[in-house]
C-alpha cells in the first residue's frame, strides 16, 4: 500500500515534522504506531548490502559517511549463529541480555549524531558494540569511543565481536578505526568527575527526571540523541545553559534500569576509560598506514585516472515493489502485521521485464570478484622484517 520512502517520510512526520493528511495517511499512521516503533519500516534484505539499499530508499540513511559505515560492518556478525537468518530484517532482536535495535532506528541515530573525525562519543547501553563499531569507522584514530553496558555478559560479548571484526574484516584496513572501549555499570551512576563528550547516545528509554543528567554529559556544541517520552530526540547544546531540541522519530524502548545501592548503602560509581594519549609507536603505525594508503591511491590514479573505486557489488535484480511483512516479538506477546502493496499482484510483468534487461546486460557466467585488500598486499611486499609487517597490520588474520 505504501512504498518504503513513504513509510520513512510519514514516520518522521509522526515525530513532529508535520501532520499527514486524512484518509490513506491516517491508515498509514495507525500501522506506523506499532510497526515503526519496533522496526519493520523497510523490507528485509537478502544480505547486508540489500538491507542498506532498502534503508537508503526509505531515506533512513541519507549521508555517504553513514552509508559507508553500515556497509562496512555486517549486521549478521553481531547475531548468535542460530539467529543470523533474521539479521537483515528491519526488526529489533533480543536474546537474554543481548539486544540489537532495528536497522531503521540505528540509521536515524547515526544521521542525527552528525559524526565527524576526531570527536568523542559515549554510548550508554552499548550492548553488542555494533553501533559503537560503526561510529568508530567515522571517528578515526584520533577520536574517543566509549561505551557503558549494564550487563557484564553483554560487555564480554561486545569485546568478542570487536576482536573478531579487528582480526578478520577487510573494512578495518579500509578505514582509520577508533576502537571502542567498553565498561560495565549502570549509565545513571557515571562518576561526576568524568569528561564530557561531543556526542552521546542512550539506547534505553530515558525518563523525564533523568534528562538533565544526560545533558550534563555533553560538551557545549555537542549532540545528545536518546529516546525521551517515546520519541527519539536530538538535543544540541548551543551554550553552557542553552539547548535546541528536535523530535526525530516515534519509538518504543525499554526504560533505563534504576541504580541499585550496594550493601554499604552507597551507589557504585562507573569509572569511564581514561582519555589515554597514544604512544609514539602507535602514532608511527597510524602515520605509516596513512602514507601507504596515499601511495596506493596515487598508483591507482596514475593507472586509470580516477583513483580506487569501491569493489562493485554483485548485480542483483532490483525488486521495486515489495510486500512489507512485520513480526514483532515483545517478550511472550507477538504482534504480527502485514501491509501489502496492491500492485504486488500485477507486478509480475514488470519483474519479468527487469529480469530480461538484466540477462541482456550481464555476462552469463558473471560472479562477484573477491575484494582485494590493497593495504595488506602493499605492507606484505615491503622490505621489512616480518614482525614489523604484522605490527603494521595489527597482527590481523588474512
Reported for 328-335, long-range contacts at CB under 8 A and 24+ positions apart, including other chains, are 328/34, 328/35, 328/38, 328/39, 328/40, 328/91, 328/92, 329/94, 330/38, 335/34, 335/38
Q: For residue 101, indicate whether it is catalytic.
A: yes
Active site residue: 101, 120, 169, 171, which one?
101
Q: Is 58 left (phi over 0), alpha (psi -120 to 50) or beta?
A: alpha
**Residues marked as catalytic:** 101
Amino acid at each position: 500500500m505504501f512504498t518504503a520512502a513513504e513509510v520513512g517520510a510519514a514516520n518522521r512526520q509522526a515525530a513532529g515534522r508535520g501532520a499527514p493528511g486524512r484518509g490513506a495517511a491516517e491508515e498509514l499512521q495507525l500501522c506506523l504506531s506499532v510497526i515503526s516503533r519496533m522496526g519493520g519500516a523497510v523490507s528485509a534484505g537478502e544480505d547486508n548490502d540489500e538491507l542498506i539499499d532498502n534503508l537508503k530508499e526509505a531515506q533512513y540513511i541519507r549521508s555517504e559517511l553513514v552509508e559507508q559505515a553500515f556497509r562496512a560492518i555486517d549486521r549478521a556478525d553481531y547475531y548468535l549463529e542460530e539467529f543470523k537468518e533474521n539479521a537483515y530484517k528491519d526488526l529489533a532482536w533480543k536474546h537474554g541480555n543481548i539486544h540489537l535495535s532495528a536497522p531503521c532506528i540505528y540509521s536515524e541515530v547515526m544521521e542525527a549524531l552528525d559524526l565527524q573525525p576526531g570527536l568523542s562519543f559515549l554510548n550508554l547501553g552499548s550492548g553488542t558494540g555494533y553501533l559503537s563499531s560503526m561510529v568508530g569507522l567515522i571517528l578515526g584514530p584520533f577520536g574517543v569511543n566509549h561505551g557503558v553496558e549494564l550487563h557484564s555478559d553483554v560487555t564480554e560479548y561486545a569485546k568478542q565481536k570487536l576482536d573478531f571484526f579487528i582480526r578478520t574484516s577487510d573494512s578495518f584496513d579500509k578505514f582509520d578505526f577508533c576502537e571502542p572501549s567498553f565498561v560495565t555499570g549502570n549509565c545513571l551512576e557515571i562518576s561526576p568527575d568524568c569528561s564530557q563528550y561531543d556526542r552521546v547516545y542512550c539506547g534505553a528509554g530515558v525518563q523525564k527526571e533523568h534528562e538533565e543528567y544526560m545533558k550534563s554529559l555533553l560538551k557545549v556544541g555537542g549532540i545528545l540523541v536518546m529516546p525521551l517520552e517515546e520519541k527519539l530526540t536530538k538535543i544540541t547544546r548551543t551554550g553552557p545553559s542553552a539547548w535546541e531540541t528536535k523530535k526525530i522519530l516515534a519509538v518504543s524502548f525499554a526504560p533505563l534500569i534504576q541504580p541499585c545501592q550496594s550493601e554499604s548503602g552507597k551507589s557504585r560509581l562507573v569509572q569511564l576509560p581514561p582519555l589515554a594519549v597514544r604512544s609514539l609507536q602507535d602514532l608511527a603505525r597510524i602515520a605509516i598506514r596513512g602514507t601507504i594508503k596515499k601511495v596506493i591511491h596515487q598508483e591507482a590514479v596514475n593507472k586509470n585516472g580516477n583513483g580506487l573505486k569501491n569493489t562493485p557489488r554483485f548485480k542483483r535484480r532490483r525488486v521495486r515493489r515489495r510486500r512489507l511483512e512485520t513480526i514483532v516479538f515483545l517478550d511472550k506477546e507477538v504482534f504480527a502485521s502485514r501491509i501489502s502493496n496492491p500492485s504486488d499482484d500485477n507486478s509480475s510483468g514488470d519483474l519479468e521485464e527487469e529480469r530480461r534487461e538484466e540477462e541482456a546486460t550481464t555476462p552469463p557466467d558473471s560472479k562477484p570478484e573477491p575484494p582485494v585488500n590493497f593495504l595488506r598486499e602493499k605492507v606484505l611486499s615491503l622490505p621489512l622484517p616480518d614482525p614489523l609487517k604484522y605490527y603494521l597490520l595489527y597482527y590481523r588474520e588474512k
